[in-house]
Structure 1
């Protein structure tokens, strides 16, 4: 499942995993999407899901997990949520473990998805483990910055290792071959699980996995440009003109009343600081970023709205001269997204955003994943999708804007973010992964592929680069109108699994 996802309407770090997602956001099991982007996704542009009625067939179960795997003197434990599907299991078959990410683990993935097709053919038992600090898996009493120190990819991998060990022993599966699956940030975890715990996981499918951490990630928006241009070469040029025009208007308070009306804002626009301007501009850019990230994905079973909004639809609006100048078309896109997601108005109040993101309660407005995922970007990965490149279509949200969020939300300095990113690449290897039996599927439309493995490293570390598809597309259920290259990619993954499991 996937996730790089959305968080409350606040600073977007565009994902994850996300995961666009401004305050990043994402794919995997946490596999996820847009204007939810304005209202959830900013934070994860990695994909996340939403619990659905279909998932009710699978009862949630609970696993006793350690709070701190790296401190033997700390004996505290908590309950981690997981799901089981035994429908396809044949004695002696493999165990498939879907890794949760930066959002609630969606039990709909126990009924749908390409991994279940593989499971049926290979006689696999299917498990899905929710990521600590997301969904219902609450290791601590709140989300205070002091408690968030227990939220990290390393602790999550240790959760997976302990879960695999104990479930293996209690269910008689210790000697079975375990295969990890994940998309977006969970895709990275799937690769790193095989890398760091090769004695516990036999193979991994690491879909749309951003394995290279970087503080500044302007390449994300460069891919957005190319993806829009693949539909219509004029489209990113029109978006750029509109974004530049809007940024210029923000310099004149006399325009604020009209902008408030044009974009249907919840309250009169107030631009008093550079943060106010950056937040507003990024919010509107998020409409395009999220749609590009999940373009034409078969996500309906997740219970998500907006799956009918595609690159083709947005570029169609931007090319519609009857709407007026590009600025007016840009506003029309914003209104279309609000209508699609049943939003009465667009809230661009930075003060409220800060209040939401600093609320440490599990009942807080950002507790669905926004506060947690942005913390992970500040403490481990960066991934900040800034406008610091001339080869992208937006204006006004530079790296400094994202780094300021780390300081405001968690008292983490820019220097600390840079050091954390360096440590992540030292620990995991970045692009230079040295392992075996990991396959890396990525889509050419997906901006996250810029941080993933898109060429074979070794014969048993293959990449599958799928032209014309977006974030985690190969993880979704197949449909009759899937492009041939997507069907071939799913078949390729199955053949690799079949081959590896025979070894």
Structure 2
């Protein structure tokens, strides 16, 4: 999920992943849902990827008879740390832990204000933290939010001993998107270890059919212009007619520069999801002040795509939706749009750490298929993207990628366990601050008012996914500036 979950891919990986899965896949941008912040020219801090450190971690925390271990990656910044200061724990998510977070982002400002030690732990099975020799289904059984929380618990004790900390050093967990969920859940399940938790853009309960995702996308586009949704819907209707004939499919392959021909109904459905994904990704990360492969794509916003959809110099909505696709393909240097269903299944079925799916696509798909669902379906009629990718389409992918046992029943049971284990909408953790923005579709699965158990919340009307976590910008809305002040003051209250 990467604010957990971002759109970023390191330039060194650019060529390697250029023809892999789309940049925005099932609500997760390549690299994870939490993107990397821009590097400030004024930053006085320096960090080198070589500063990565390694912790010997248990493979299975819930089987005492299993003594297997592996090396988990983490980073430390003690620049501002003072005796008896707090420990800020940045939780890694469904992507590589980027060391730039150790010198940039709001948590570094909070660390300076509160004299904190900053540590960041990479999530098992993502980035360089490889617990097993490959990503086979038998090994992915060790990939779960429960195991990740237990990783945090043992890592906590390791850091306490290594840095000779005491009970006076209160821990604050920090996370955005899926790691935001983990932050709240860490406070819930290990309240003796973490004193307070920041949970930005954190989905707090699982469900199979996350149809409200596209409803929020519609609402967010409407915040700029309702005509934008109308133009999208007109274009989708044209495409819907075109896929009914071979001539139309051939034209779509050409103008959208598809890697593969549209042949099966699965190809049709996957293509429609990819077209919708062009808008989903822009909305999810609208104006969020983070890097898009360096400086690329930072100006691709709701305004840009809606202005394109309403551009009268282009003959019709169909040509305009093609132009949106062209813009995004140019930004991410894609030679063709990989929207073929079998191509997707084939890529996500590969189990080697050297395959492109190991960037996180296979792992996150697995977690959604067994723990969370979160499937951004087209089931709602209150959105402009048609109805070609229902929740059942995503459930089918689980079985096609991981095997027939990964059925609708398995998923339903897994989600039921997740919601029972963490509380879902009846979350009972305490001293958690939930931060969300109305533009972000993921806010529909979080607490935006009156959280249970007297927890706190911030809900902004103009911001998108994890916006509060990134560095300041001159263009930040006042409510975002005010939110960051409230976050820091809340931390201060916790530390009194």
Give the TM-score taking structure 2 as reference length.
0.92
Give the equivalent residue in structure 2 for 1:399: 391
* Structure 1 residues 238 and 38: alpha-carbon distance in aligned structure 2, compared to 1, 3 A threshold: farther
Segments of 5+ residues of structure 2 without an aligned counterpart are: 10-17, 40-45
Q: Which of these residues, 466, 480, 484, is aligned with residue 460 of structure 2?
A: 466
SS in 2 for 1:431: helix
- Cα 1:301/1:500, change in 2 over 3 Å: farther
CA distance in 2 between partners of 1:361 and 1:159 (Å): 23
Map of 1:472-487 to 2, 5 A cutoff? 472-487=466-481
**In the TM superposition, what are the counterparts of 1:80-99 in structure 2 within 5 Å?**
80-99=72-91
The whole-number CA distance in structure 1 between the counterparts of 2:293 and 2:37 is: 7
CA contact (8 A) 2:4 2:180 kept: yes
Is the CA contact 1:287–1:334 (under 8 Å) kept in the aligned structure 2? yes
Q: Which 5+ residue runs of structure 1 have no aligned equivalent?
A: 6-15, 27-34
1:159-179 deviation digits (Å, cap 9, x = unpaired): 000000121122112421000
1:487–1:37 Cα change, 3 Å: farther
Q: 5 Å matches for 1:60-209?
A: 60-175=52-167, 176-209=169-202
Structure-2 change in CA distance of 1:205 and 1:48 (3 Å): closer
What does the per-residue CA deviation read over 1:55-81, in whole Å, with 9 as the maximum and x for residues that have no partner?
526600000000000000000000000
1:301 CA drift (Å): 8.3
Question: Contact 2:114–2:492 at 8 Å: present in 1 too?
Answer: yes
Instruction: Provide the rounded CA distance (Å) in 2 between the counterparts of 1:47 and 1:36.
Output: 20
Give matches, 1:428-443, under 5 Å. 428-443=422-437
Shift of 1:243: 1.4
2:22–2:337 Cα contact (<8 Å) kept: no
Contact 2:305 2:324 in 1 (8 A): yes
Give CA deviations for 1:112-165 in whole Å, capped at 9, x if unaligned: 100110000000000000000000000000000110000000000000000001
Distance 1:227 1:138 in 2: 38
Is 1:318 matched up with 2:292? Answer: no
Residues 483, 179 of structure 1: CA spacing in aligned structure 2 closer, same or farther, 3 A cutoff?
same
For 1:351, the equivalent position in structure 2 comes to 342
- In the alignment, is residue 47 of structure 1 matched against residue 28 of structure 2? no
* Cα distance change of structure 1 residues 174 and 161 upon mapping to structure 2, 3 Å threshold: farther
1:36–1:321 Cα change, 3 Å? farther
Q: Secondary structure at the match of 1:386?
A: coil
- Aligned residue pairs: how many? 475
- 1:417 maps onto 2:411 in alignment: yes
Q: Is the 8 A contact 2:20 2:338 kept in 1?
A: no
CA distance, structure 2, for counterparts of residue 410 and residue 102 of structure 1:
18
User: Per-residue CA shift, 1:462-486, capped at 9, x if unaligned?
Assistant: 1100111000000000112210000
Do the aligned residues in 1 keep the contact of 2:225 with 2:306 (CA within 8 Å)?
Answer: yes
SS at match of 1:323: coil
Instruction: Give the Cα separation in 1 of the matches to 2:486 and 2:239.
Output: 45
Q: C-alpha offsets along residues 244-265 of structure 1, whole Å, 9 cap, x if unaligned?
A: 2212211111212221222122
When residues 387 and 36 of structure 1 are mapped into structure 2, their CA distance, relative to the original with a 3 A threshold, is: farther
Cross-structure match for 1:248: 241
Q: Name 2:354's counterpart in structure 1.
A: 363
Separation in structure 2 between the aligned mates of residue 304 and residue 405 of structure 1, nearest angstrom: 34
Who is 1:377 aligned against?
A: 368
Report the equivalent of 2:42: none
Q: CA deviation at 1:189?
A: 0.1
Q: Distance in 1 between matches of 2:148 and 2:213?
A: 26
Match of 2:495 in 1: 501
User: C-alpha separation between the residues in 1 aligned to 2:200 and 2:20?
Assistant: 21
C-alpha distance 55-386 of structure 1, shift in aligned 2 (>3 A): farther
Q: What is the CA distance between 1:38 and its match in structure 2?
A: 6.0
SS at match of 2:413: helix
Would you say the 8 A contact 1:36–1:341 is kept in 2? no
Does the 8 Å CA contact 2:206/2:418 hold for their aligned counterparts? yes
Shift of 1:50: 6.4
Please state if 1:265 is matched with 2:258.
Answer: yes
Distance 2:397 2:461 in 1: 35
Is the 1:50–1:304 Cα contact (8 Å) retained in structure 2? no
* Aligned mates of 1:78, 1:302 — CA distance in 2: 30
The separation in 1 between residues aligned to 2:467 and 2:489, in whole angstroms, is 18
- Which residue of structure 2 aligns with residue 342 of structure 1? 333
The 1:258–1:51 alpha-carbon spacing in structure 2 relative to 1, beyond 3 Å, is: same
Question: CA separation in 2, counterparts of 1:361 and 1:135?
Answer: 13
Q: 1:236 maps to what in 2?
A: 229
